[in-house]
């Protein structure tokens, strides 16, 4: 069973979103772009970032070199459920201390629900935080590329995305929102059982949440499906499988 990707801090303390004029516009408005946030947690001491699903360490940069900010690239070990469906997800996280990276090796898998590292100031930044940026797909090339504004943006086999498109909020884990910069995260859904409505024709299953996306299957009336997440008017019923909500209901029609 695929797992839901949820926000990795117990207290959300986003001090700067991707549009943050302090230092992030060179990432989000450059070519290519990514969508980083700075996370400061509860801001009492150093707060932990957790692995909400199994995350594999793909690259470590800057460890032990004061002027190079410590950076770790992480990738999910399998597809996970995001607000935009089933995807591999890859990201990079920066500014944790050398101490938190001691002994960490590329290939290590942080198991779901475990602590990974804390916010820090490595790389000469003011104020403890973690800068993180995420995208769909897998780790690609060196993990980053310098854009036309001089910022090093994430490279993946998919596309860089805003955090709200990749992470759900689990209110049982993230129990406090201290600062969000107005970012709205969808609540982690529960899987619902639904049925394909009675029709004269089979109902199309599409690869994505759009009528222009490829038809990947057709289901008979009454077929039972599991809805993992909805996006607009579309229900995700599996990896790369979406059905328009008007063709589904929660009771089987005979």
Nearer to Zn ion, 36 or 83 (CB): 36
Comparison of 23 and 175: residue with beta carbon closer to Zn ion: 23
Nearest CA to 151 among 204, 226, 92, 192? 92
Task: Between 17 and 54, name the residue whose CB sits nearer to Zn ion.
Answer: 17
By Cβ distance, which residue is nearest to Zn ion? 131
Minimum CB distance to Zn ion, residue 185 (Å): 19
Residue with tokens 């290519």: 32
Binding-residue pattern over the window 178 to 217 for Zn ion, x denoting contact by CB under 5 A: ----------------------------------------
- Is residue 131 near Zn ion by the rule CB under 5 A? yes
Nearer to Zn ion, 27 or 242 (CB): 27
Please compute, for residue 42, the number of CA atoms within 13 A of its CA located in the half-sphere on the CB side.
10
17: contact with Zn ion by CB under 5 A: no
By 3-state DSSP, what share of the chain in percent is helix, strand and coil, each rounded to 5? 5, 45, 50
Other CB atoms within 10 Å distance of the CB of residue 70: 23
Q: Is 180 helix (H, G, I), strand (E, B) or coil?
A: coil
Q: How far is the CB of 69 from Zn ion (least distance, A)?
A: 10
Give the span between the Cα atoms of 162 and 133, in whole angstroms: 8
Tokens of 11: 């207290």
Q: Which two tokens stand for residue 39?
A: 């996370």
**Measured from the CB of residue 21, what is the shortest distance to Zn ion in angstroms?**
12
Site string for Zn ion, 37-76 (x = CB under 5 A): -x--------------------------------------
Task: Kindly tell me which of 25 and 208 has the beta carbon lying closer to Zn ion.
Answer: 25
- Mapping DSSP to helix (H, G, I), strand (E, B) and coil, where does residue 246 land? helix
Q: Are 227 and 194 in contact (CB under 8 A)?
A: yes
242 vs 233: CA distance, rounded Å: 10
Q: Does 18 bind Zn ion (CB under 5 A)?
A: no
Considering beta carbons, is residue 38 or 164 the nearer one to Zn ion? 38
List of residues contacting Zn ion (CB under 5 A): 38, 131
């Amino acid at each position: 069973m695929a797992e839901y990707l949820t926000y990795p801090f117990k207290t959300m303390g986003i001090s700067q979103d991707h549009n943050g004029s302090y230092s992030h516009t060179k990432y989000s408005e450059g070519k290519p772009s990514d969508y980083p946030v700075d996370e400061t947690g509860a801001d009492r001491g150093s707060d932990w970032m957790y692995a909400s699903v199994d995350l594999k360490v793909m690259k470590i940069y800057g460890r032990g070199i004061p002027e190079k900010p410590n950076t770790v690239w992480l990738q999910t070990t399998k597809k996970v459920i995001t607000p935009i469906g089933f995807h591999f997800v890859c990201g990079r996280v920066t500014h944790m201390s050398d101490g938190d990276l001691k002994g960490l090796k590329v290939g290590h898998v942080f198991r779901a629900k475990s602590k990974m590292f804390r916010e820090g100031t490595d790389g000469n930044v003011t104020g403890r935080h973690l800068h993180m940026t995420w995208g769909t797909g897998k780790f690609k090339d060196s993990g980053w590329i310098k854009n036309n504004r001089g910022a090093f943006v994430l490279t993946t086999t998919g596309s860089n995305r805003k955090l709200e498109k990749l992470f759900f909020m689990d209110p049982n884990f993230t129990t406090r929102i201290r600062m969000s910069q107005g970012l709205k995260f969808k609540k982690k859904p529960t899987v619902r059982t639904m049925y394909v409505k009675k029709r004269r024709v089979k109902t199309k299953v599409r690869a994505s949440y759009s009528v222009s996306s490829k038809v990947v299957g057709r289901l008979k009336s009454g077929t039972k499906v599991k809805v993992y997440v909805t996006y607009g008017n579309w229900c995700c019923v599996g990896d790369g499988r979406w059905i328009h909500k008007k063709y589904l209901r929660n009771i089987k029609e005979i």
